[in-house]
Structure 1
């Protein structure tokens, strides 16, 4: 049986600041992120199965990614938990804003590492995460590949 890759695309708006960075991105700013999630597996061949012919139902993949990433990061501001912006983070939280204090510098590179772990933990055993592509701007993106990790 052939392995097939399927991809689902998502978008979300997130603010962040890069603690200790020597450029403009040290300031709080935001991006319209685009996330492509590609999984790999074999289509279901059991003719009595309601999902015959599917690797994974796109709806099931969407549920995982929405719950683990999109719903948490959309319209949130992400700071490294060691940032001097911690007072700003507390103030924003106290005013009802969504703030994520990450264990990492919130670059696209680190975000795809974080996202990969969250998705892998939720995928069925017979489905593997093949790749993630997180597009930060029209011309800039980070990619994570299972074969590299």
Structure 2
């Protein structure tokens, strides 16, 4: 049977700051992220399966990505846990929705994190093929399973 790739796109708003960085991104700032998730698998051939002909239901992929990534990050401030949580608390209600990560929250590192989360959440018959994360309209990073 032929392998087919499916891609679903997700959009979320997120702020971050890069700890100890020597450029403007050391300041808290936000982006309108676009995440493209591509999975690969064989279309279901079981005539009795309600998902006949699908590699995976797009709705199921959407639910997984929203649960594993988007719900935590959308409209949040993401910072490395190298930054004291007290700093976020001092922001009051503006810091209520924050997410601490154990890495520098660059586009590259977020993709490594996202890949691990999604690989662990996908059905066994479907594999994560690639991720593409746009931080701005003309800046993005990509992760490919074959490279890892």
Give TM-score scaled by structure 2 length.
Answer: 0.96
- Residue aligning to 1:146: 145
Matched, 1:70 2:85: no
Q: Deviations over 1:100-140 (max 9, x none)?
A: 11000000000000001111111011110000000000110
Question: How far did 1:48 drift?
Answer: 1.0
Name the Cα RMSD after superposition. Answer: 1.1
- Residue aligning to 2:51: 51
Matched, 1:5 2:2: no
Q: 1:49 and 1:126 mapped to 2: Cα distance?
A: 14
Question: How far did 1:89 drift?
Answer: 1.3
- Residue aligning to 1:107: 106
Q: 2:38 and 2:97 mapped to 1: Cα distance?
A: 28
User: How do residues 110-125 of structure 1 correspond to structure 2 at under 5 angstroms?
Assistant: 110-125=109-124
Aligned to 1:35, what secondary structure does the other structure show?
Answer: strand
Aligned to 1:55, what secondary structure does the other structure show?
Answer: coil
Question: How far did 1:97 drift?
Answer: 1.7
Question: How far did 1:63 drift?
Answer: 0.4
Q: 2:87 and 2:76 mapped to 1: Cα distance?
A: 13
Aligned length: 147
Which of structure 1's runs of 4+ aligned residues deviate more than 4 A? none
